[in-house]
Amino acid sequence: MEQCVVKVRRVRRAEGQNFPCYMTPHAAGMDICADLDDDLVLEPGERKLVPTGLAISLPDGFEAQVRPRSGLALRHGIALVNSPGTIDPDYRGEIGVILINHGSETFVVKRGERIAQMVFAPFVRAELLEVDELDETARGDGGFGHTGR
């Protein structure tokens, strides 16, 4: 298993702020928490940016992917608008999570609540080469649903 060192800065030195952590020994994602002064209310259909109080410094060649928590999705219909969200290695601002309430009831986000998970992954940068024709494949330009049910 490849590892990387990620530097973390607390944007606000708030008392009792939860630090990202893996919840089980084999978890792929670290849970990240809401850093709020007051409860944040999400009405059905509403979306809001939730601060985490954290900024990170990733090594070059790594990204952090911010993903939804399955329990919040199943029990309350809470998801992330841009999922997965990508944190680039040169971003130094506070990590924010855009939550949306797809549920039928109001959802209240409390300070310190685990709202998302963060997965670290290596990436490659592509060099694009413009061509007049692409190589042919059996699929060709068959798009959405082209293979049937």
Closest CA to 40 of 98, 119, 117, 122: 98
Flag whether the pTM goes above 0.85. Answer: yes
Q: Does an H or E element contain 115, and which? A: strand 114-122
pLDDT band of residue 132 (cuts 50, 70, 90) is: very high
| Cross-strand pairs, 42 | 107
Average pLDDT in the 103-121 region?
96
Domains and CATH numbers, the chain: 21-122 (2.70.40.10)
Where b means 16+ CB within 10 Å and e means fewer, 99-130 reads bbbebeeebebebebbbbbbebeeeeeeeeee
pLDDT band of residue 14 (cuts 50, 70, 90) is: low
Report in angstroms the alpha-carbon separations of 111 from 8, 51, 56, 108: 19, 10, 20, 10
